[in-house]
Amino acid sequence: MKKRYLITFGVVLFILILDQAVKIWIKTSFSYDDPSIALIGEWFRLNYVENQGMAFGTQLGGGMWGKLLLSIFRIVAIIAIVYYILKQIKKPEVKLEFLIVSGLVLAGAAGNLFDSMFYDLMFPTYFDPCISYNQVEGSGIWEDCTYYGYTEAVEVRHRGFLFGNVVDMFQFYAHWPEWMPYLGGKQVFPAIWNIADAAISVGVILVLFRQKVYFPKQ
């Protein structure tokens, strides 16, 4: 039983540390307007950006309340996943592989929540009102932004605990063949993502494809 706890939460801790190490390095070493960097050929690139929403930059509403609701949803989801994993660990019939997969989802959710909770507090000087991902129409918070010597007031997002952006950096830069109808020439997967997003995706995909193994019928 102890071994199952150590392995499951060891995986969670490893993913969390790796995710945060990469994010902090990216945030403190790259700028928004830096060109993307080829990591593997031209199809897998590093492209720094931040988003105010969920995995792969998707949104849950807009403005202060949408962001706050999203952060609260993440907290509730993480508590529920931890409770579920703790119950499953105690069941000897539950496979260790399933516990590890559940740990991937937990680590991914916690990794992105950490950004929202603490990055505005950890990196206050990195906030730039002129960058699009820091601007929210209707926020009521105005700051001056200078574009090419011209200054104008822009509405920026709320900042502080639970309001931070999530840091993303990886992008597949592959395109569908031109001969394909509707999809020809478009990017196969245009979203920019991070290690936490990847952990959630891998965990969910494994549960879907191996559900007969994880949940055998009695």
- Alpha-carbon dihedral of residues 122, 27, 167, 165, nearest 10 degrees? 40
Among candidate residues 19, 115, 120, 168, the one labeled active-site is 168
Which H or E run includes 6?
Answer: helix 2-29
Which H or E run includes 110?
Answer: helix 96-122
pLDDT in single tens digits along all 218 residues of the chain: 889 999 999 999 999 999 999 999 999 999 988 999 999 888 899 999 999 875 444 444 456 787 888 889 999 999 999 999 999 999 999 999 999 999 999 999 999 999 999 999 999 999 999 998 999 888 889 999 987 888 999 999 999 999 999 999 999 988 888 888 888 888 888 889 999 999 999 999 999 999 999 988 75
Among candidate residues 19, 115, 120, 197, the one labeled active-site is 197
pLDDT at residue number 62: 54
**Is-catalytic flag, 197?**
yes
Which one, of 2, 34, 12, 73, lies nearest residue 169 by Cα? 34
pLDDT at residue number 218: 58
pTM for this entry: 0.90
φ, ψ dihedrals at 192, nearest 5°: -100, 135
State how far the Cα of 11 lies from the Cα of 184, in Å rounded to an integer: 39
What are the structural domain ranges in the chain?
Answer: 2-159+194-214
φ, ψ dihedrals at 40, nearest 5°: -130, 105
CB-based contacts of 186: which residues, under 8 Å, 6+ apart?
175, 176
C-alpha gyration radius of the chain:
20
> Given CA atoms 48, 193, 59, 164 in this order, what sign does their dihedral have?
negative
Assign 24 to helix, strand or coil. Answer: helix
State how far the Cα of 198 lies from the Cα of 37, in Å rounded to an integer: 19
**Is-catalytic flag, 115?**
no
